[in-house]
Chain A
């Protein structure tokens, strides 16, 4: 099902770095096969998983189809999209993906700041940004942009994160719900539609 632009449907974007594969697996496992929103997953070190290894790894952990996000393709509900290695991933106003090879942001490409900023612009209050384990500060500014547009921000509890820096940096900048991985799974699985 394609989402029409301007619809109050949610778009969930989850960013993770070191320790991210296990954490992502745990969160995605909680989502049901009929999940009504698209889910975008951005992992910094995804080039450590050549070819479709990461799709397969995460695909085994969850009930939803997992595939790489492609430029110009519309976001569809119930699919987990992976940000390709080496490119920034953005969401356009018409809810289609875009890629760029612009300079690294926060020392990384793909950068969660770039993805979240674009999501804040494209989806406003319907955007959901999630920050998991990671040992850098990417995503904090982007999460702030999502909050500024009335979207939802969720951050993994730094005390249980394998690498707490990324959640900590996010919490320094943005007001967010702080949950453990199991809690994030439950929260996302039961996520209501966006306020109209």
Chain B
């Protein structure tokens, strides 16, 4: 096991260097998948060891971008888990409709797939003009791409199928232009989206909102960081506001469990209670 222990020490040192040099703290990420991404980054950069990655970070501040991109996982899909978006459309949006202004926070927005999904949902339900969506991520490279709204044409078919399964009222193709190997979503869909950098590990309450969508982000955090983020979400939601987590994420066995009631177990939608 000596070899494994040496690697563990290098990982620890790298995490400390990243925090010291740039303020990014990965010490509270779930270790097994974090290690896997770090090993992949090492291989991609042609570094001989994880310690080598650390040395490069010391001498080359611009390397940070590549490191963050490698350690973040901007893997997403439009209308991923269509039944979730169907539940949002059918059960949550009618409640939000009663507010004069709708504020939504999507945390961990990756390349924006879910943000545009939300915008389309709001548009089709006639609510978009009074809505504001804050889409945040700590990965600046991903955020830049999210703001572009351009995706490989090869994904269009899955997206379109998901859209229909999510109760789409038309055809997804009415929202994008296909050009070469890419699809680009309409500029008008962005009119009420604000993209912003926000680190769930270190930043505070972002805004007061009625719906938070944060899917497949908490699975990357250890219990301590997950609990921090859940408190942040609780404190960002209005009374009776909604929290939607990923299909394999849960409030069960967390410290905020009692502050929420389960609204839709299958879609992992919770509602802020009075506690």
Contact = CB atoms under 8 A, between A and B. Distances in A.
B248 A71 contact: yes
A91 B1 contact: no
B224 to A, nearest CB: 12
A87 interface: yes
Contacts of A101: 73, 75, 216, 219
Given A100-B73, A100-B220, A149-B1, A117 B31 contact: no
B249 A121 contact: no
B32 A102 contact: no
A87 B1 contact: no
A124 interface: yes
B50 to A, nearest CB: 14
A92 B37 CA distance: 15
Interface string A102-127: 11000000000010011001101000
Interface in B34-51: 35-37
Given A71-B219, A103-B75, A149-B4, A84 B248 contact: yes
Interface residues of B, number: 19
A100 B219 CA distance: 6
A167 to B, nearest CB: 24
A92 B222 CA distance: 11
B26 to A, nearest CB: 14
B223 interface: yes
In this complex, which of A72, A98, A122 has the most chain B Cβ atoms within 10 angstroms of its Cβ? A72
A26 interface: no
Nearest to A86: B247
Contact of B1 (A71, A90, A99, A124): A124
A98 B30 contact: yes
B33 interface: yes
Contacts of A124: 1, 4
B30 A92 contact: yes
A122 B32 contact: yes
Contacts of B253: 72
A67 interface: no
A71 to B, nearest CB: 5
Interface of B: 1, 4, 30-33, 35-37, 73, 75, 216, 219-220, 223, 248-250, 253
Question: What are the 7 closest A-B residue pairs judged by CB atoms, nearest first?
Answer: A90-B32, A100-B33, A118-B32, A98-B30, A99-B219, A101-B216, A92-B32
19 contacts: A71-B219, A71-B249, A72-B253, A87-B219, A90-B32, A90-B33, A91-B32, A92-B31, A98-B33, A99-B248, A100-B30, A100-B73, A101-B73, A101-B216, A102-B33, A103-B73, A118-B36, A122-B32, A149-B1
